[in-house]
Each structure stands twice: as C-alpha cells, then as structure tokens.
Amino acid sequence: MQETKKLYEEMGIRPAVFEFGEKIAESLKERFRSIDETAEYNQLKVVHAMHKNNVGEACLSGTTGYGYNDIGRDTLEKVYADLFEGEDALVRPQITCGTHALALALFSNLRPGDELLSAAGKPYDTLEEVIGIRPSQGSLAEYGITYAQADLKPEGGFDFEAIRAKLNDRTKLVTIQRSKGYQTRPTLSVDEIGEAVKFIHSIKPDVIIMVDNCYGEFVEKKEPLSVGADMIVGSLIKNPGGGLAPIGGYIVGKKECVENAAHRLTSPGLGKEVGASLGILPQFYQGLFMAPTVTASALKGAIFAANLYEKLGFSVLPNGTETRHDIIQAVTFGKPEGVIAFCKGIQAASPVDSFATPEPWPMPGYDSDVIMAAGNFVSGSSIELSADGPIKPPYSVYFQGGLTWQHAKYGIMNTVEYLLRDKVISEDVLK
C-alpha cells in the first residue's frame, strides 16, 4: 500500500486526499461484491447468447460495399435480440450516436398526424430539437408529429393519472427515458418501467413503448424488454460497447419496430440487407463480451463518487446508499467553479489528452454552454472515465464511466485535488 500511496502522490494526489478516499473505498467492499455478482450473471447472459447463435471466427471478418450476406453483422443482431429479449435487433456502425439511434427509432415508427408522449417528463437536451420542442431543421414537428409530456411526480416516480390524461387516439408512441440526463431526478428502475408499461398498455394496448436505455444496460439483471417494453434504444460508445466499440448504436424490440428503423436507416426496400460492417465487428463482439465487467467498474466509480462527495458536504444523486439503475452520478455544486474544477480533474486523470484543459462551450444540441471532460480512447465515449454538465443552475456535474474501477477511483480523487487547487473547497473538509 505504501508503494501505491507514493505513486498516487507522484501523480498529484496529496496524502490527505488519498487517505480520505481509501477510507471510503474500504467501507464499500461489501457493496462492491453485490455489483460483481450482477456482473457475473450478466456476463453469463452475454456468453449464452453468443453460444446460442454460434458466433464463430467467420463472424469477425466483416464486409465492404453493400454489405450483402454479412454473417457477422446478422449474427451480432441475433445475439443482441436474444440477450435483450427482443424479436429483432438493428446494431450498426452507421448509427452515429445515442441521439441518432433515438431519432431513428422515432422517425421510423411515427407518421404525420401521430403524437409522441414522453411519460417521464422532459427528455434529454439533444432530443428537444429532434422532437421540435426547440425548433430545428427536420424535426418531428416539421412532419406534423405532435408532442405531449407527462411529468414525473416531485419525488421522481411516474404520475399515472397524468399519463392517463395525456394518452389519446393519436398517441402512437410513448417514450420513457431510463436515465436522468441533465436533471436532478432519480433514474428509473426496470421494475418501475415495467409498472408504467403495464399501466399504459392496459389503457392503449397498441401503443409502442420505447425506452431510452442509455447508461442502464447491465446495471441490473433485467432489461426493459423483459418487463413489456416494445423497443429499447442505446449507444455502443456507452455500456454495451464495453469501451471497445468506436461508434454505433442499437435498436432492439418488436420485429416491426426494428424493420421500420432499418428501412429508415438505409432505404425502403433495402432495410437490414445492406450496410457493410467495414472491419468493425471484432470491437463490437469483444466490446459486448466485456460490457458487464466494464459496466460494473463504472458503477463502482459512481458509488465511490457519491459517498466521497456526500462526505465533502455536497448534494449527490443518487445518494451514497441508494440502489443503482444506471452508471451516472450527479454532484451539485451550486456554482460554476465547482463543475469546471471537477471536469478539469477528470480530464487530467485521463489516459489520453491529460494535458488538455476543458472549457465550457456552446455545444450543438444544448441550450446553454456545456463543459465536457473526456480524454478517451474513443472520442466521446461515456463508458470511459468522463464528466460533463451544463453551465446553468443548479450547477451540477454528471460523472460516468471508468473502464476499470481502479482508474475511476483515481479520477475521482483527482477531482478533489482540483477542487482544492481552485479553492472550491479547503483541506479542512477532509478531516
């Protein structure tokens, strides 16, 4: 331990911060065992799906051009469908990010005159322009698709009466965002989502229920399709890519929903038959294989951050003892200097671009300046150690990722160092 402590000190972590962090890490060992048990279960699920679909060396080769008869691509989609309990899946490098995957699912399954209902309150910032809440070129609103919203209850649960009031004859698709986004509300558990799905389908059985699954994959033993959702959507540079996928997104669910998305992604009449995998399949397969363990590491980092910052006196969500349903940890500083110092600490702890200094900037898709720290192997990968936040009240930072628990631990301790250096906190709080 003395050798480790010395190396931490060489890397900028003063003894008081190291000892403060070590005490918290020691107190979490029993909880980490439970996370490892979930990771083991989910690891077996992934391997079982690969065995069932006869993943072989030929699946790793890939195609170019049109991508006809791409056995690796088609097998991977069968693996995703079985793993997440869907009828079909679309898993493609041509899906550029999580927002693109969600937009694809929405545009392909909604038609002019339909209405989209968000049953979990305000959607993530980048979806506002997709929907047309903030006017944008090519939004759903431009195609005559209207939007309704049922806010969550103040404590964060579904408001079933508000949902009932918003459902109508034109409601074609209901979206549920599992994670909190840039909001200070709890992440929704799979069981909570299941209760909402059952309620909505009891009123309108034919409505499509889509779950934005970003940041939630492999945190629990169940996924939203297991409790009745019709479609789940996510990004491969988050949990399911395991830190290895360099791009991509997925849509899994009812066959008709997935086929609609495929025909929107490529072209009517072509659908899933085209789309070359371009040599990327080894990263997709191996990333999925690694995903349960990598997600567990990120989850440990989030719990460590919650407990550490709680001890420092800051408001955290979830708190240090709450059950976890995604990998995101929010810390509220109440002033921009805290958000900026935290992100500087994460950037300086990163394996890539540690020498860079993140600054707030008007990032496309957001309504305020945003600061992002992500010195990662895959640009923008938020399953890797990263942090970001909008520079607006209540001045919260959102931390996520960590390919290994050990790196996440170091990154969090480094944020404390930067808060000390920028005089956001004093060393007295470590005592």
- The CATH number covering residue 375 comes to 3.90.1150.60
The per-residue pLDDT for 180 is: 84
State mean pLDDT over 151-156: 94
Which one of 231, 248, 279 terminates a domain? 279
Do 167 and 242 belong to one domain? yes
Banded model confidence at residue 364, pLDDT cuts 50, 70, 90: confident
The per-residue pLDDT for 349 is: 97
Pair 387, 342: CB distance under 8 Å: yes
The per-residue pLDDT for 125 is: 85
Do 96 and 169 belong to one domain? yes
Do 270 and 307 belong to one domain? no
Assess if residue 404 is contained within a domain: yes
41, amino acid identity: Y
324, amino acid identity: R
Is the pLDDT at 142 greater than 90, yes or no?
A: yes
Assess if residue 284 is contained within a domain: no
Which one of 279, 300, 322 terminates a domain? 279
Quick: pLDDT tens for 408-419: 999 999 999 999
Quick: pLDDT tens for 230-263: 999 999 999 999 999 999 999 999 999 999 999 9
Pair 149, 122: CB distance under 8 Å: yes
Do 24 and 157 belong to one domain? no
The per-residue pLDDT for 431 is: 80
Assess if residue 49 is contained within a domain: no
State mean pLDDT over 343-365: 93
The per-residue pLDDT for 165 is: 98
Rounded Cα distance between 175 and 198, Å, is 14
State mean pLDDT over 184-195: 94
The per-residue pLDDT for 372 is: 94
Number of compact structural domains in the chain: 2
Assess if residue 417 is contained within a domain: yes
Pairing of strands 88-92, 249-253: antiparallel
Banded model confidence at residue 184, pLDDT cuts 50, 70, 90: confident
Rounded Cα distance between 241 and 227, Å, is 23
Containing structural domain, residue 376: 2-42+289-430
Assess if residue 327 is contained within a domain: yes
Which two tokens mark 323?
Answer: 């059950």
Do 295 and 271 belong to one domain? no
Banded model confidence at residue 367, pLDDT cuts 50, 70, 90: confident
Rounded Cα distance between 46 and 296, Å, is 14
Quick: pLDDT tens for 18-73: 999 999 999 999 999 999 999 999 999 999 999 999 999 999 999 999 999 999 99
Assess if residue 51 is contained within a domain: no
State mean pLDDT over 336-351: 97
Do 274 and 296 belong to one domain? no
Which one of 248, 279, 310 terminates a domain? 279
Three-state secondary structure readout of 284-321:
HHHHHHHHHHHHHHHHHHHHHHHHHHHHCCCEEECCCC
Rounded Cα distance between 429 and 56, Å, is 55
Is the pLDDT at 325 greater than 80, yes or no?
A: yes
Do 95 and 21 belong to one domain? no
Is the pLDDT at 74 greater than 80, yes or no?
A: yes
Assess if residue 324 is contained within a domain: yes
Is the pLDDT at 366 greater than 80, yes or no?
A: no
Do 267 and 151 belong to one domain? yes
Rounded Cα distance between 70 and 182, Å, is 38
Do 196 and 297 belong to one domain? no
CB atoms within 10 A of CB 164: 14
Long-range contacts of 387-394 (CB under 8 A, 24+ apart): 387/342, 387/343, 387/346, 387/415, 388/343, 389/182, 389/339, 389/343, 390/125, 390/182, 390/366, 391/336, 391/339, 391/340, 391/360, 392/368, 394/184, 394/332, 394/334
Do 19 and 68 belong to one domain? no
Q: Which of 203, 164, 189, 87 is nearest to 176 (CA)?
A: 189
Rounded percentage of the chain residues whose pLDDT exceeds 90 = 94
The per-residue pLDDT for 182 is: 74
375, amino acid identity: G
- The CATH number covering residue 129 comes to 3.40.640.10
Is the pLDDT at 141 greater than 80, yes or no?
A: yes
Q: What is the mean pLDDT of the chain?
A: 96
Q: ∠ CA 238-243-249 to the nearest 5 degrees?
A: 40
Assess if residue 236 is contained within a domain: yes
Do 326 and 182 belong to one domain? no
Do 79 and 180 belong to one domain? yes
